[in-house]
A and B are shown apart, each in its own frame.
Chain A
Amino acid sequence: MSAQATLDRRAFLKTGAAAGGGLVIAFYVPALSAQEQKPKPEVIAPFAYIKIASDEKVTIVANHSEMGQGVYTSLPMLLNEELEADWSKIRVEAAPVDAIYNHPIFGIQMTGGSTTTAAEWDHYRKLGAAGRMVLVEAAAQKWNVPASSCHVEKGFVIHAATSRKASYGSLVDAASKLAVPADIPLKEPKNFTLIGKPTRRLDTPPKTNGTAQFGLDVVVPGMMTAVIARCPVLGGKVLGFDATEAQQVPGVKAVLQVPTGVAVMAEGFWPAKLGRDKLKVKWDEGDNASLSTTKMLSDFSAQSASPGAIAKKVGDPQSAMASASKKIVAEYDVPYLAHAMMEPLNCVVDLKDDSCEIWTGTQFETVDRANAAKAAGLSPEKVKINTTLLGGGFGRRANPASDFVVEAVQVAKVAKAPVKVVWTREDDMQGGWYRPMWHDRFAAGLDASGNPIAWTHTIVGQSIMAGTLFESFGIKNGIDSASVEGAADILYGIPNLQVDLHSPKIGVPVQWWRSVGHSHTGFSVEAFLDEVAHAGGKDPYQLRQNLLSKQPRMLAVLNLAAQKAGWGKPLARGVGRGIATHFSFDSYVAQVIDASVEKDGSVRVHRVVCAVDCGRVVNPDTVKAQMEGGINFGLTAALKTEITFENGRVQQSNFNDYPMLRMFEAPIIEVFIVPSEEKPTGVGEPSVPPVAPALTNAIFAATGKRIRRLPIRASDLVEKRGANS
């Protein structure tokens, strides 16, 4: 953690709320030069992003990582809308680390916050347009005609008057020497030929024949594989170890202590793992040795009994609550969650005296480079990062401490050879950096007509920013905005409202997890609103309609989902229907779920109807895919998973005790996209938050049982089934 601590002292970042409540942060990493760390959306450098070969193949450089969300197709779509190369000749490659590839909003090179399309919407189109303009200018100069008399078509510049044409590949050398024009006009949306059209993903073919290269697939000559014994209590340290048996495993080359534990180096994964499993390590378990989920649950609940730091206050909630005709209260709990990407963490490092080359699937290139440089004792420009495809990210591969990268550099330092550090599934599951555990306590006051006139929401949970290089600037007045997003900025028109926050300091490393704070507020707010509707004798859909009267985009999404689902129409016996909305990453989502509960308490999800307004759509099929995927991701969290601690140890280890939704449980999903001409907004995360509440609201409709704790437990449904809570 020393690299992190150093960065913390030296780093600063700016933070502010984006229009509509999304968090916008610009990160500055002083380990880099001032020139490098500056966000430069205004500098359009087409040939840093476009490579045109003599065979006319066009390589588009992606400054965002592909982790399934489809940016290796949507970024080329944005660029080629303006470049107008032959789409069949387009390929994609990952950008190296360089300030020219920085995120136009965040100011470092990274992928996250469902921001790729929103951030690159203008930038990539301008890159394409600038590239086209200089290619045209090069042709015009060659032919000695005005550029305005030329046009482009599928990778050719054409001078129709003289029937001359020149390919982009033949012009690119001359074009790259020309100055990029200051004014780069873009197409009117009505003239789009690519944006908005369902477009096949460029990365699908290699993902169907085994050739797609993930971090785990990287091979470097002379490389050894390392598997590491880490303390079973997070943050513990090695006191001593006996490697006698480990060293007897054929293929084991070395056993070396590193800051995070003991690394067993071998000529392949299997001997390394066998050796690791035979190590005898004595640990100093440190401060986390008594961590207990049971205790945390009661501590959190006790803390929530008094208000925390005020995140949002509207009107006079206390007086309104006192004057309410009816008052209801409820407490909600959600657990720590692991990201559980299908590809466990791994990182390849080739460290030499004056250079460090890294291959890994990362979402956080600039931060990783700075942290790796610090660990290697090199300056950042000596560190090269090759971003591979990510076998899932969900936030885990954007680690503020670059934990899996720094550790691999530390191993390479002592190994004195290229090394691939591989985390087993168990290592990955038990390695920390979880979605925080949260407790939410609500009270609502209803008027005589059953309308909510007062709403208080006390949130208890660890800050993600605290203890990271983002702390000093990411937390304002005791409020980590990522802790209260989706709660402090609810769209419902409730006249008197308070949202406050307790941020207990606990030694569990926590991190952003697909939809971040919204992953708990989406559930608790929408489930409690359902309680308010029932307490006030209102239909849950109609109450939401009433409260969203001043939110036309969310109202349209809500109405579309309800209409497509057939809200109010009779359902099969035993089936309940639930509804929820959530605004996150500047996108509007509503979902309606039909579900039933079996006699043994198991839940069957029959159908999910999802409506989304994410502004203008680049690739409609990708939006649909992200809604589908996010819904199944959300169902896993709602139905199945939790990370718990006992005696400081994580109780889960693999997919047997941290189970995923499987094919036979996956519901029918129907996705409807609201046509919009607004700017593009987030797509990767916004479908996750409404899933759990739409499901628990459906379960309430089916059984009368209110679920206030995730994951949903069969035992919670079988005991009191049919009884109103």
Chain B
Amino acid sequence: MTSFVLNGKSVQVDVDPATPLLWVLRESFGLTGTKYGCGMALCGACTVHLDGEAIRSCVAPLARVEGKHVKTIEGLSNDLSHPLQKAWIEIDVPQCGYCQSGQIMSAAVLLSKIAKPTDTDIDEAMSGNICRCGTYPRIRRAIHRAAELADGKTAATNERSGDVPTTEVAR
């Protein structure tokens, strides 16, 4: 029996403690927002928080979380109110969306440590998360935007570093 705190609630689970946390979250707790992408900590789709740090749950055995706090995308907010979720929606970051839980969870740890990350900070924190649809420019914009939202700036701004949102459109 493994005991830990999952999204703020104490839980117990009777699964082989060598099982990767990813599959326990998905199959024992039904928290399918955390995704399987590679099984080797190469893509970041399975990123969750372990005591506030970003970990790849596909290679973290269940035993590792005994007595610790785990947060998944489902625990980020219950009403899309996290600044990252607001920014992701404002900028329409996702395409297929499969990697985005992991992207957001990695970004959440970045913002918890660096309130106003630079592009270099974003490169360092986010380069473990692959997006096959290539939404990187928008992820970058949305992290900057979330930092602004967290800082109380609600009005949308146009120019941010690393972002050239110039588009000419018909009508």
Contact = CB atoms under 8 A, between A and B. Distances in A.
Interface string A649-667: 0000011100011111010
B137 A616 contact: no
Contact of B20 (A270, A630, A635, A663): A270
A390 B163 CA distance: 28
Interface string A207-220: 11111111011010
B89 A200 contact: yes
A203 B23 contact: no
A343 B98 contact: yes
A67 B132 CA distance: 11
Nearest to A663: B126
B170 A219 contact: no
Interface stretch (A44-52, A587-595, A617-625): A617-625
A424 B39 contact: yes
B169 A675 contact: yes
Interface in B123-146: 123-124, 126-140
A425 B96 CA distance: 17
A342 interface: yes
A208 B35 contact: no
B63 interface: no
Interface string B12-41: 000010011001001100111111111110
A564 to B, nearest CB: 8
A631 interface: yes
A340 interface: yes
A434 B163 CA distance: 34
Contact of B167 (A196, A213, A391, A672): A672
Nearest to A632: B134
A68 B136 contact: no
A72 B123 CA distance: 31
Contacts of B136: 632, 661-663, 666
A235 interface: no
Given A342-B35, A425-B38, A629-B135, A205 B80 contact: yes
A640 to B, nearest CB: 11
Q: How large is the interface on A (under 10, 10 to 19, 20 to 34, 35 or more residues)?
A: 35 or more
B95 A70 contact: yes
Contact of B96 (A192, A391, A630): A391
Interface in B34-77: 34-40, 42-43, 45, 72-74, 76-77
A619 B137 CA distance: 18
Contacts of A654: 38-40, 42
A204 interface: yes
Contact of A633 (B19, B132, B139, B171): B132
B35 A343 contact: yes
Contacts of A674: 168, 170
A675 B38 contact: no
A342 B96 contact: yes
B122 interface: yes
Nearest to B162: A668
A677 interface: yes
Interface string B87-111: 0110011111111110010000000
A389 B137 contact: no
A268 B23 contact: yes
Interface string A385-404: 00001111110000000000
Contacts of B88: 204, 207-208
Contacts of A664: 123-124, 127
B139 A663 contact: yes
Contacts of B45: 342
Contacts of B36: 216, 269, 344, 422
A647 interface: no
Interface in A34-90: 66-70
B166 interface: yes
B96 A209 contact: no
Given A625-B135, A660-B132, A389 B96 contact: yes
A32 interface: no
B164 interface: yes
- Closest A-B pairs by Cβ, 6 of them: A210-B33, A632-B134, A391-B98, A68-B95, A207-B97, A68-B96
5 contacts: A204-B97, A341-B132, A654-B40, A663-B136, A676-B170
Given A625-B92, A629-B134, A662-B129, 10 more contacts: A208-B84, A269-B36, A425-B37, A617-B170, A660-B130, A663-B122, A663-B139, A670-B166, A671-B167, A673-B168
